[in-house]
A = this chain, B = another copy of it.
């Protein structure tokens, strides 16, 4: 059997034989071009230098953010439901989502991939392949980072993006009366984390189709780059944030950073059918699960009502979804949800607190 077992090569070998192939031909590419600025990736990862280098001329805003990925985001990986490719893909999506939330175009990602001895070359290469596939799907590339050994798999990344000078979508700028909108239903990834670890134990099964939808939300997450760019270009959004901490948390954060309350229209909040199925099993309200901790990458943003029609048209033309789910109230007002009975209630759901919250237990009405 010699030569047929798993191969574990050292870091320089992995860099040369498993990483480099993904980085060919980066250097020299124009990675963003607007009427006001040109951004060229002068030296990419293929240049093998101390740093990646971007040549910038003109006027622009550069946005940059770092996210580490582990904890509950890995629970499904540990259960064997996500592959090495998937966690690489997820790492990039999570980081690019922050760029999207600023209304920027991703111009590069740096990834840190550390691995334990058990992860052989084939497994390592799958993570790298997932990382590069995601970068490609999001229109960008991996320009650098770090690989090497560690006690466990460690995934961390930094994403860079560019937008027109001063046009980044910040978390504040909303006025009373602005509409609160979201690019799609939330809570799906949280529902997956609530469901799979207990499936067939103290919980029954949902349909195979729904299981597949839940897993797909983790396997191929979409960062809302197109939506962010539309919101920043005109500029429509008065404030914006991604929903990676869950919908309730994100609404509360926008409320705090704008010093405003929000009135949420209960009937207008989009609820995914997979969330409804999982909520039934958990004996929880679908709205509660929709609002709870879930690293979805939807964008939550505010909009002057006068811009709604134009913005909707642009979203439709790009095949993007927009849902008006509430409106900003006066300063000092609480954030409430209003149902068919017209009575304002506090927002349901378990906001993101720290990594080890068991959402499924907390949202359960049983």
Judge whether A58 is part of the interface by a CB distance below 8 angstroms.
Answer: yes
With A57-B165, A151-B151, A154-B154 known as contacts, the answer to whether A146 contacts B52 (CB < 8 A) is no
Q: Does A50 contact B (CB under 8 A)?
A: yes
Min CB–CB distance A253 → chain B (angstroms): 9
Q: Bound state CA distance, A55 and B171, in angstroms?
A: 17
Interface centre among A47, A65, A355 (most CB of B within 10 A): A65
A11 CA / B293 CA spacing, docked (Å): 15
A52 and B64 contact, CB distance less than 8 A: yes
A151 to B11 alpha-carbon distance, docked (Å)? 23
In this assembly, does A221 line the interface, its C-beta being within 8 Å of a C-beta of chain B?
no
Give 19 new A-B contacts, CB below 8 A, not counting A12-B353, A112-B112, A151-B151.
Answer: A42-B168, A50-B171, A50-B242, A51-B63, A51-B64, A52-B63, A52-B65, A53-B170, A55-B59, A55-B166, A56-B61, A56-B165, A64-B158, A65-B110, A68-B114, A71-B148, A71-B149, A149-B355, A149-B356
A64 CA to B55 CA, complexed, in Å: 12
Categorize the interface residue count of chain A.
Answer: 35 or more
- Tell yes or no: A313 within 8 A of B by CB: no
Q: Is the CB of B143 within 8 A of A64?
A: yes
Within 46-81 of A, Cβ neighbours of B (below 8 Å) are at 47-68, 70-71
Q: Say whether chain A's binding surface is mostly helix, strand, loop, or mixed.
A: strand
- A353 vs B354: C-alpha distance in the bound complex, in angstroms? 37
Q: B53 touching A63 by the CB < 8 A rule?
A: yes
Q: Is A150 interfacial (CB-CB < 8 Å)?
A: yes
Identify the interface centre among A37, A52, A143: most chain B CB within 10 Å of its CB.
Answer: A52
Chain B residues with Cβ below 8 Å from A295 are none
**Interchain CA distance A61-B49 in the complex, whole Å:** 14
Q: 7 closest Cβ contacts across the A-B interface? A: A51-B63, A51-B65, A158-B158, A57-B59, A66-B110, A50-B101, A54-B62
